[in-house]
Structure 1
Amino acid sequence: MSRNWGTLVMYTLITLAVFYVGYQMVTNPSSFLSSIIMMIGIAVLVYGAIYFLFLRNRVGAGAGRNSNEMKKYKQAVKQSKQKYKSPAPVKSKAKPTPKFSSNTKQKKPKRKNAPNLRVIEGNKSKGKNRASF
């Protein structure tokens, strides 16, 4: 029974608040807007203070942002980059080799493994009428 009573009180307070907001908007809109803006500003300041003081260090902790697993992951990424890094070309002061002239033909490299494709013959005269779909 107490739960129904609490619900009734809550709905009554919400209804009175809605009527008061409507009354303020009709009778004194400038004061209403300034009070709404001030309430939003205070709420943002309070949320920002709570976030920076308490929640900032906890956000992402479940994902392991500062945990041992993340450190191990970063170390593995670093090792992988070192392992698969292509060696940097050595720059020397020797003359660069002359480029091929336009008269010489450059051969395209042949593929080592040609794709194994075959044509499947079918009845090509029967075509679906796609406009009827």
Structure 2
Amino acid sequence: MSLERINPEELSPATGFSHAVTATGGRLVFLAGQTALDGSGKVVGETLPEQFERALANLLTALAAAGGTPADLARVTVYAVDVADYREHAGELGRIWRRLAGREYPAMAVVGVVRLWDTQALLELDGFAVLP
């Protein structure tokens, strides 16, 4: 299995994401949306960065249970109830991403939503990975 991250020079610089990711061979893992839920089902973290760290950790835990690593992520979508707040914390969120997932960025999108299933949740992450 191999993932190739593609970032054409004609497009804006890819900072914290890849414009395209191709995958050959392997097994697909579809990752359900993860919020900042702890093991008891309670949303933890008051700020967007705190919730982002927990939601990303939850996504990576599900990926690891399927046999994958952060480098196997091909696509991640972030659903945010406040996109302006997300943009305001982008630098901090990038540092959290690099600490937990490294510098191999999947294709990503941030989508503004009115609310999430858990009303206390500020964001949710889902995605898919390609494993060998």
TM-score of the two chains, using structure 1 as the length reference: 0.19
Task: Please identify which structure carries the higher helix content.
Answer: 1
**Structure with greater contact order relative to length (CA < 8 Å, sep ≥ 6):** 2
Higher strand share: 2
Structure having the higher Rg: 1
